[in-house]
């Protein structure tokens, strides 16, 4: 199975965009080697600016560039892109509805060994409430490319959330359409809704559930905002249970987004797999996924529980 | 030159009168810093800056960004006097559905980027300045900061970056009126030595009297000549300038004049016009 670093795909896609369009400008805050914006910097030194360890300045400068017609990609780790520079993102990027595409890497608990200070598990929550902001959480390398191209083509601010680790490519996803979820597996009993890296866990869980005689749908909601309301309502109608799985606090992320739609349009009980109001810690990504209850075995357990209720 | 200075003085006083009228009408807002920045804004909009009201998105226009967004009444007055929008809009300031919001909004003709949350404007200006460099344009970028605003860390991140990237098309102006909401800046949070701070960050510093049009004209001319580094004009000003009971009074940072105060203030500003005319004769 093909395994890619989403951030490598991001860096390569930036070069494509840079060649095609002189308006594309890329910014980083001393993490260009990690976020892979260094690839663009090497090709287009006149359109790349490093701001050092100063994310607030980077974000507000991105807005200034965008006010002059540039399409700006600004990258750093998800923790600093969102928590550190939130006011700049809200008031200077989103309020002005500027073409600033924030592509943040090292999101989630799977940052691993660096520990809690670097594990952005509230980032979706920070940005989801801001008008004009659009959010994509790609599940693999190819979807990362689609997300970056989509952000480039679609006016206004974007947040694209990437992880640190290599991720296997999900086969047979079909075409990427912004704002439309992808049903990866069609089932009857339970709809497992997920995004990002956890889509892998959902697919593994689906196989285990099948062995236990449970037919699960697996749905990849790559666009968290605007969310695919019609698909969510349809899934809730067609299944006996709904389960949302994500590498984020259960507050303010995909689980919240799904519940906001269903509680309003088609109220059903929605189960959740996410981080339950606590900080992360150091460890290997695979260990942490398990320790924090995000791995496939927890999804299987939760799905069985929901169906028995 | 004298004629030019006289005309700019008149414009600045026009701006001051409009500030008083629009704030009294709005019933809230920030007169102190608007009045202290009126001469700076008048000099920029009616002499220094290159722009075309009929073509507000002209790519070669000079950019102005009001980082101290709460002083937008001064900017709105200048934009209205320039013809960006009809003066009737001034009387709808801060009202529901108005073109003129409590802090600058991009839907207002002449406003490049919204502001209001302090400390971010110099970064925005750096972005405009970098864009000009990429596009090989010769426009200049002007950014007006408050003194209290210089307590924000983001200002110094931007100051560091502007010097690093040698943004000589960028000119910042600090409206140094020595007051912020809670009182004197040296009592709330000292800024001194402010000139040394900017110099240490790699900027060319020009000091001037922010109410002396001639000094402002020279300061902007000097800024234009400086190459390979950004320039900051530290303009010494008086908070509430032009209205006796508002001068040096922290309370008028963020309080609109009452109807009675409006009358007295306008009378005083009319007097300034008369005195200036008498001097000319």
Q: What is the pLDDT of residues B39-85, one digit of tens each?
A: 999 999 999 999 999 999 999 999 999 999 999 999 999 999 999 99
DSSP string, A48-72: EEE--S-HHHHHHHHHHHHHTT-EE
**Cβ density class A169-179: b for 16+ within 10 Å, e for less:** ebeebeebebb
Q: Count structural domains, chain B.
A: 1
Q: Which of A57, A89, A99 to mutate to test the interface with B (most CBs of B within 10 A)?
A: A57
Residue A115 and residue A239 in one domain: no
What's the structural domain count of chain A? Answer: 2
Q: B199 versus B276: which is more confidently predicted?
A: B199
Indicate whether A194 pLDDT > 70: yes
**∠ Cα B177 B157 B231 (to 5°):** 55
Q: Quick one: what percent of chain B has pLDDT higher than 90?
A: 96
Strands B179-180 and B183-184: antiparallel
Which pLDDT belongs to residue B281?
A: 63
For residue A180, the model assigns a pLDDT of 98
Q: Is the pLDDT of residue B269 over 70?
A: yes
Do A218 and A272 share a structural domain?
Answer: yes
Provide the CATH number for the domain around residue A251: 3.40.50.920
Out of A69, A87, A92, the one facing B124 most closely (by C-beta) is A92
Is the pLDDT confidence value at B276 over 90?
Answer: no
Q: Is the CB of residue A96 less than 8 Å away from at least one CB of chain B?
A: yes
Segment holding A75, helix H or strand E:
strand A71-75
Instruction: Give the mean pLDDT of A99-127.
Output: 97
Q: Is residue A243 part of a domain?
A: yes
CATH number reported for the structural domain that contains residue B276 in this entry? 3.40.50.970
- Both A276 and A204 in one domain: the answer is yes
Please check whether residues A92 and A156 belong to one and the same domain.
yes
Q: How does pLDDT run across B140-149, given as a tens digit for each residue?
A: 999 999 999 9
Q: Do A35 and A160 belong to one domain? A: yes
Please, where are the H alpha helices in A68-197?
78-79, 86-87, 123-128, 141-153
Show residues of chain B in contact with A54, CB under 8 Å. Answer: 157, 160-161
CA dihedral (B38, B62, B213, B229) positive or negative:
positive
Set of chain A residues whose Cβ sits within 8 Å of the Cβ of B129: 64
- Residue A175 belongs to some domain of the structure: no
When pLDDT is cut at 50, 70 and 90, the band that residue A277 belongs to is very high
Q: Are the beta carbons of A57 and B132 separated by less than 8 Å? A: no
Domain end position, chosen among A135, A168, A201: A168
Query: Beta-carbon neighbour count of residue B225 at 10 Å?
Result: 9
- Which runs of consecutive H residues, i.e. helices, occur in chain B? 2-26, 31-36, 38-43, 72-82, 121-134, 153-164, 185-188, 194-200, 213-225, 259-280
Q: Are A29 and A54 in contact (CB under 8 A)?
A: yes
pTM of structure? 0.97
The answer to whether residue A100 is domain-embedded is yes
pLDDT tens per residue across span B105-140: 999 999 999 999 999 999 999 999 999 999 999 999
Q: Which two tokens stand for residue B187?
A: 């009592």
Domain identity same for A197 and A162: no
A70 and A44 assigned to the same domain: yes
- Cβ separation A54–B161 shorter than 8 A: yes
Cα-based distances in Å from A68 to A25, A88, B59, B197: 11, 17, 8, 29
A163 with A27, same domain: the answer is yes
Mean pLDDT of A211-228: 98
User: Which pLDDT band holds residue B278 (cuts at 50, 70, 90)?
Assistant: confident
Tell the residue number behind the tokens 């997920």, with chain if given. A194
Q: Give per-residue pLDDT as tens, A129-156.
A: 999 999 999 999 999 999 999 999 999 9
Domain that holds residue B249: 2-280
Residue B262 has pLDDT above 90, yes or no: yes
Q: Do B127 and A68 touch (CB under 8 A)?
A: yes
| Residue in chain A lying closest to B124 (CA) | A64
Indicate if A35 and A142 belong to the same structural domain.
yes
Q: Distance (Å, rounded) from C-alpha B120 to C-alpha B189?
A: 19
Query: A57–B123: do the CB atoms touch at under 8 Å?
Result: yes
A103 within 8 A of A160, measured Cβ to Cβ:
yes
Chain B interface, Cβ < 8 Å to A: 59, 63, 65, 106, 112-117, 119-121, 123-132, 134-135, 153-154, 157-158, 160-161, 164-165
The domain in which residue A190 lies consists of: 182-308
What pLDDT, in 10s, does the model give residues A29-66? 999 999 999 999 999 999 999 999 999 999 999 999 99
CB contact under 8 A, A61 and B113: no
Q: What is the pLDDT of residue A201?
A: 98
Mean pLDDT, residues B231-250 taken together: 97
Q: What pLDDT was estimated at residue A1?
A: 81
Give the pairing of strands A3-5 and A166-168.
Answer: antiparallel
Tell me if A176 is assigned to some domain: no
pLDDT exceeds cutoff 70 at A112: yes
Residue A309: pLDDT band by 50, 70, 90 thresholds? confident
Determine the pLDDT at residue A251: 97
Interface test with A, best of B123, B149, B155 (most A CBs within 10 A): B123
Judgement on whether residues A82 and A135 belong to the same structural domain of the protein: yes
Work out the mean pLDDT of chain B and round it to a whole number. Answer: 97
Residues of chain B found within 8 Å of residue A67, distances taken between Cβ atoms: 112-113, 124, 127-128, 131
Beta-carbon separation of A88 and B123 below 8 A: yes
Q: Residue B5 pLDDT more than 70?
A: yes
| B192: alpha, beta or left? (left if phi > 0; alpha if psi -120 to 50) | beta
What does the pLDDT read at residue B96? 97
Region A68-94: what's the mean pLDDT?
98
Please indicate, yes or no, if residue A231 is contained in any of the structural domains. yes
pLDDT at B280 over 70: no
Do A107 and A195 lie in one domain? The reply is no
Is A189 domain-assigned?
yes
Query: Is the pLDDT at B275 greater than 90, yes or no?
Result: no
**Exposed / middle / buried, residue A251 (Cβ in 10 Å: 0-12, 13-18, 19+):** middle
Q: Are residues A285 and A244 in the same domain?
A: yes
């Amino acid at each position: 199975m093909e395994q890619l670093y989403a951030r490598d795909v991001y860096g390569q896609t930036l070069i494509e965009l840079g060649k095609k369009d002189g308006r594309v400008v890329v910014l980083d805050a001393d993490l260009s080697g990690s976020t892979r914006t260094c690839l663009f910097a090497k090709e287009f030194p006149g359109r790349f600016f490093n701001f050092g360890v100063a994310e607030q300045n980077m974000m507000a400068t991105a807005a200034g560039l965008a006010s002059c017609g540039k399409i700006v990609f600004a990258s750093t780790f998800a923790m600093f892109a969102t928590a550190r520079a939130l006011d700049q993102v809200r008031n200077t990027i989103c309020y002005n509805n500027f073409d600033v595409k924030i592509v943040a890497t090292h999101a989630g608990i799977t940052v691993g060994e660096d520990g809690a200070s670097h594990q952005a598990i509230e980032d979706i929550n920070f940005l989801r409430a801001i008008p004009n902001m659009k959010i994509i959480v790609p599940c693999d390398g190819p979807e990362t490319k689609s997300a970056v191209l989509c952000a480039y083509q679609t006016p206004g601010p974007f947040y694209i959330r990437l992880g640190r680790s290599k991720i296997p490519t999900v086969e047979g996803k079909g075409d990427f359409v912004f704002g439309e979820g992808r049903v990866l597996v069609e089932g009857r009993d339970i709809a497992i809704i997920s995004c990002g890296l956890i889509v892998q866990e959902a697919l593994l869980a689906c196989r285990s559930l099948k062995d236990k005689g449970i037919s699960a749908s697996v749905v990849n909601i790559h666009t968290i905002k605007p969310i695919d309301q019609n698909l969510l309502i349809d899934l809730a109608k067609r299944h006996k249970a709904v389960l949302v799985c994500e590498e984020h606090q259960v507050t303010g992320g995909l689980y919240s987004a799904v519940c906001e739609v269903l509680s309003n349009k088609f109220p059903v009980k929605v189960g959740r797999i996410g981080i339950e109001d606590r900080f992360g810690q150091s460890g290997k990504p695979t260990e942490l996924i398990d320790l924090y209850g995000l791995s496939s075995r927890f999804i299987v357990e939760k799905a069985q529980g929901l169906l028995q209720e | 030159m004298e004629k030019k200075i006289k005309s700019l003085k008149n414009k600045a006083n026009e701006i001051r009168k409009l500030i008083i009228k629009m704030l009294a009408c709005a019933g809230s807002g920030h007169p102190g810093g608007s009045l202290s920045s009126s001469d700076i804004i008048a000099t920029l909009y009616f002499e220094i800056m290159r722009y075309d009201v009929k073509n507000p998105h002209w790519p070669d226009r000079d950019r102005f960004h009001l980082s101290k967004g709460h002083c937008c009444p001064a900017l709105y007055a200048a934009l209205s006097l320039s013809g960006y929008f009809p003066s009737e809009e001034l009387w709808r300031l801060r009202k529901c559905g108005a073109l003129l919001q409590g802090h600058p909004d991009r839907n207002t003709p002449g406003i490049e980027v919204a502001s209001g949350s302090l400390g971010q404007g110099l970064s925005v200006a750096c972005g405009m300045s970098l864009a000009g460099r990429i596009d090989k344009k010769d426009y200049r970028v002007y950014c007006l900061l408050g003194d209290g605003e210089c307590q924000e860390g983001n200002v110094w991140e931007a100051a560091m970056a502007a010097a690093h990237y040698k943004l000589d098309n960028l000119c910042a102006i600090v409206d140094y009126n020595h007051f912020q909401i809670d009182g004197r800046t040296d009592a709330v949070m000292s800024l001194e030595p402010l000139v040394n701070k900017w110099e240490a960050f790699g900027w060319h510093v020009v000091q001037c009297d922010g109410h002396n049009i001639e000094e402002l004209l020279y300061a902007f001319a000097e800024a234009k000549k400086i190459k390979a580094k950004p320039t900051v004009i530290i303009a010494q000003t008086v908070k509430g300038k032009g209205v006796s009971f508002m001068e040096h009074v922290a309370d008028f940072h963020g309080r609109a004049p009452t109807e009675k105060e409006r009358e007295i203030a306008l009378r005083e500003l009319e007097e300034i016009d008369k005195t200036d005319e008498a001097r000319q004769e």
